[in-house]
Amino acid sequence: MGQGILEMKTYSILTPSRNRPDRLQDFIQSVFLWAANPHNVEMLVYVDNDDPQLEAYKNIQHEHVTIHIGEPISISKSWNILAAMAKNSVFIMGNDDLLYRTSAWDMALDRELSVYQDDIYCAWMEDKINGESHCAFPIVSRLWYETLGYFAPGVFHFGYNDTWVFDIAQRVDRCHFMPHIIAEHMHFSASKSSFDDTYARNRTQERGNLYHKDKDIYEATREQRHGDAQKLLAVIRSI
Q: Is 3 domain-assigned?
A: no
C-beta separation of 101 from 30 below 8 A: yes
Assess if residue 6 is contained within a domain.
no
Residue-wise pLDDT tens digits, 196-229: 565 556 555 455 577 788 999 999 999 999 999 9
Question: What is the pLDDT confidence band of residue 1, given thresholds at 50, 70 and 90?
Answer: very low
Mean of pLDDT values over 133-162: 96
pLDDT of residue 239: 81
Q: Which of 122, 154, 152 is nearest to 140 (CA)?
A: 122
pTM of the prediction? 0.91
Asked if the structure places residue 2 within a domain, the reply is no
Confirm whether 129 is domain-assigned. yes
Instruction: Give the integer Cα–Cα distance in Å for 85 and 188.
Output: 30
Helix axes 222-238, 161-171, angle to 10 degrees: 50
- Overall average pLDDT of the 63-76 stretch: 96
- 100, 137 contact by CB (below 8 A): no
CATH number at residue 232: 3.90.550.10
Domain span including residue 44:
11-238
pLDDT value at 56 more than 50: yes
Quick one: which of 114, 215, 132 has its CA closest to 178? 132
Decide if 4 is inside a domain.
no
- Give pLDDT tens digits for 108-128: 999 999 999 999 999 999 999
pLDDT grade, residue 55 (50/70/90)?
very high
Query: What is the DSSP annotation of the chain?
Result: --TTPPP---EEEEEEE-S-HHHHHHHHHHHHHH-S-GGGEEEEEEEETT-TTHHHHHT---TTEEEEEE----HHHHHHHHHHH--SSEEEE--TTEEE--TTHHHHHHHHHTT-TT---EEEEE-SSSGGG--SS-EEEHHHHHHHT-SS-S--SSS-HHHHHHHHHHHTT-EEEEEEEEEEE--GGGTSS---HHHHHTTTSTT--HHHHHHHHHHTTHHHHHHHHHHHHHHHHH-
pLDDT at 142 over 90: yes
Band of the pLDDT at 91, cuts 50, 70, 90? very high
> What is residue 159's predicted lDDT score, i.e. its pLDDT?
87
Q: To 5 degrees, how large is the angle CA 95–CA 12–CA 65?
A: 75
In a domain, 223, yes or no: yes
CA distance 4 to 23: 39
- Looking at the structure of the chain, the number of domains it has is 1
Q: Please tell me the predicted confidence (pLDDT) of residue 207.
A: 56
* Strand 90-93, strand 11-17: pairing: parallel
Q: Facing residues of 176 across strands?
A: 123
pLDDT for the residue 6: 74
Task: Find the mean pLDDT for residues 35-61.
Answer: 97
